[in-house]
Structure formats: structure tokens, C-alpha cells
Amino acid sequence: MITSKAEDTMKDHLSGMIPPVISPLTAEHRPDTGAVERLTAHVIDGGATGVFVLGSCGEGPTLEPDVARTITRAYVHAVAGSVPVLAGIGEASTERAIRAAMEYEQVGVDALVVMAPMYFNTETDDAVVRHVTAIAEATTLPLVVYNIPHLTHHPITPRAVRAIAAIDSVVALKESSGDWTTYSALAEAARAAGLRVFQGAEALIARSLASGADGAVPGIANVVPDLAARLVRAGLVGDTVLAEDLQRQLNDVCALYQSGFWLTSLKSALAELGLTGSTAGRALSPLDADGLSEVRSVLRVVGVIGASA
């Protein structure tokens, strides 16, 4: 379990716009470290205050372990201490999660983002508390608790948040249900327990910041980090009019998700920008010609690429 000083330091650093970066892969499904460097520069130059690897955008729960380690190490190297690097821990069991946590600590990340266990649907609250407690006991890193129930099938409840918040190394909550009622209940419990709160659903960023969130973790920031960072900054200083305007602009960019499966659409958009390739996990549906045309159309309409691209 981390010291109070380390906990306070991470709380001081965790705020603002933290993109959940993709995991760039070659056509052979191996790590593309050159693309990691390009994407890192892109998001940090755009105003990212942290980098979150191996989340849903980063395909963390599905990558081969050696690929995940290599990509994480490449992000740590590319970031070079300029902002915190957070690594996602999404596993079917606590045993696997502990192993991953220890490995990513050795790689040099600054914090871990812990999802609920993803397979057996046991008594939810106690299972989640046991899971997070065991990971906290196995690592010295700060922990961010990550609620994404539509993928884990294990919702984290306000009761569980209150119990987890008693663990010294837990510093924040990332909430990605996309449901405002769920978010507000969890955010209220987290803030009352002294945790920082981050919104992971892009459409709810401005509203969440207006209600006291500390930042956001938007996948679309891989494509438009500057826009996402400006939205978060406006919300944090209380400029709700500007934040709502920037939210509408961000929503327009998010239209590219409708071109096919959302992650392959996101990776295809980054390929159009020349930052990474479009390769994703083999089970994920690649975009067809119409989908790729739709991605290009969205990028042109929002001004990310030129009309002739």
C-alpha cells in the first residue's frame, strides 16, 4: 500500500484531460512503437495532462501480454515523465489482475486503473472490494477505480466506492457507464470520500465538469486532443457557455464512431491523420469502404483534414 505522501502527490497530478490512448499495432499485430511516439507527441502537444494505456481504447483486456507490456513500456518511454502514465488492469480474475499490476509497476507506470473482474458475476460489491484490496496489497502504485459495467458486467456501486475509498492507495474514480444517474451517484460517493472523479463518457463531459468532476478521459481525444483539452479546461474554470459550445464540437467529431465498430473507426481516423495504422484485434470488424468514406467525411466536416484528403 502506498504512503500518504505518494497518494497526495498523485491526487495533485491527476486532473484535466487524460486520453485513453489506443494501442498501435502493425499489420502483423505486433507493437508499433514508432506510432506510439507519434501519438504521444500528438496528445501531449494537444494538452493532455496524463496518458491512460490499456483501457478499452487501448484494447488492454484483449492484447497478448507481451504486446501489452511492450506498448506500455513504449508509452512510458515516449512520455518521459512529462505527465503521469496510467495503465489499465482489466482481467477476468484477481489473480491475473495482480500479476498484471506487478508487471506494469516494473515497466514504470505511475498509477493503475482497476476495472471490476470480468467473468464470474458473484455478489458484486464484496467481490469488487476484495479485488481492489488484493491489487492494492500487491503494488505500491496509486489506484483509480474504473466503472465500465457494460464491458465488465460487474457494476461498481456507491456502497462499493465508499468501501474502496478506505484503501489508502485508491485516489480516484473513472466512471464510463454513460448513464447520468449512475455517474452522479458514484461521483457523489467518491467526492464525499475524498476521491477525484473523471468522466469517461464523451457526451457527458461538460455536464460532469459543471457538477464538480476533476477531469475527463475521452477516447476521441486520440484524434482531437486540443479540442478535448479546451473543453475540460473551460469546464474546470466554470465557463459553462464555452464548455457547452466545445461539447457540441466534440460531439460532432464523435460522429465518426458511427462509421462501423467504434474502435476500428477510431483507429481508422488516426490512420487518416498519419499517426498510427488502423490494425485492431482480429475479432474486431474492420471498416468497409463505405465506413472509411464516412470517417473521412466526418474528419473533413470538422476540419481535421482538408477537403482534398
> Alpha-carbon torsion 145, 149, 153, 154, what sign?
positive
Tell me: pLDDT of 10 over 90.
Answer: no
308, three cell numbers: 482534398
**279 within a domain of the structure (yes/no):** no
> Alpha-carbon torsion 207, 240, 220, 103, what sign?
negative
**40 within a domain of the structure (yes/no):** yes
**226 within a domain of the structure (yes/no):** yes
| pLDDT tens readout for residues 14-24 | 999 999 999 99
Higher pLDDT, 7 or 90: 90
**103 within a domain of the structure (yes/no):** yes
For the annotated binding site, the residues are 217
Which band of pLDDT confidence, cut at 50, 70 and 90, is reported for residue 41?
Answer: very high
| pLDDT tens readout for residues 159-197 | 999 999 999 999 999 999 999 999 999 999 999 999 999
**55 within a domain of the structure (yes/no):** yes
Percent of the chain with pLDDT strictly greater than 70: 94
Tell me: pLDDT of 8 over 90.
Answer: no
| Environment class of 286 (CB within 10 Å of its CB; exposed 0-12, middle 13-18, buried 19+) | middle
> Residue 61's domain spans which residues?
4-237
CA gap 227, 110 in Å, rounded: 25
User: What is the arithmetic mean of pLDDT over 245-249?
Assistant: 98
pTM of the model: 0.94
pLDDT at 307: 67
Which band of pLDDT confidence, cut at 50, 70 and 90, is reported for residue 9?
Answer: low
| pLDDT tens readout for residues 77-99 | 999 999 999 999 999 999 999 99
Tell me: pLDDT of 3 over 50.
Answer: no
CA gap 300, 307 in Å, rounded: 6
**298 within a domain of the structure (yes/no):** no
Tell me how far apart the 2 most distant CA atoms of the chain are, in Å.
55
Tell me: pLDDT of 266 over 60.
Answer: yes
Which band of pLDDT confidence, cut at 50, 70 and 90, is reported for residue 4?
Answer: very low
3-state SS track over the chain: CCCHHHHHHHHHHCCEECCECCCCECCCCCECHHHHHHHHHHHHHCCCCCEEECCCCCCCCCCCHHHHHHHHHHHHHHHCCCCCEEEEECCCCHHHHHHHHHHHHHHCCCEEEEECCCCCCCCHHHHHHHHHHHHHHHCCCCEEEEECHHHHCCCCCHHHHHHHCCCCCEEEEEECCCCHHHHHHHHHHHHHCCCEEEECCHHHHHHHHHCCCCEECCHHHHCCHHHHHHHHHHHHCCCHHHHHHHHHHHHHHHHHHHHCCHHHHHHHHHHHCCCCCCCCCCCCCCCCHHHHHHHHHHHHHCCCCCCCC
CA gap 214, 96 in Å, rounded: 30
| pLDDT tens readout for residues 135-152 | 999 999 999 999 999 998
Number of domains in the chain: 1
Tell me: pLDDT of 2 over 90.
Answer: no
pLDDT at 309: 53
The residues facing 91 across adjacent strands are: none
CATH number at residue 49: 3.20.20.70
**167 within a domain of the structure (yes/no):** yes
For the annotated binding site for pyruvate, the residues are 217
pLDDT at 129: 95
Tell me: pLDDT of 45 over 60.
Answer: yes
Tell me: pLDDT of 6 over 90.
Answer: no
**99 within a domain of the structure (yes/no):** yes
Tell me: pLDDT of 222 over 60.
Answer: yes
pLDDT at 244: 98
pLDDT at 124: 80
198, three cell numbers: 473523471
Catalytic residues: 146, 174
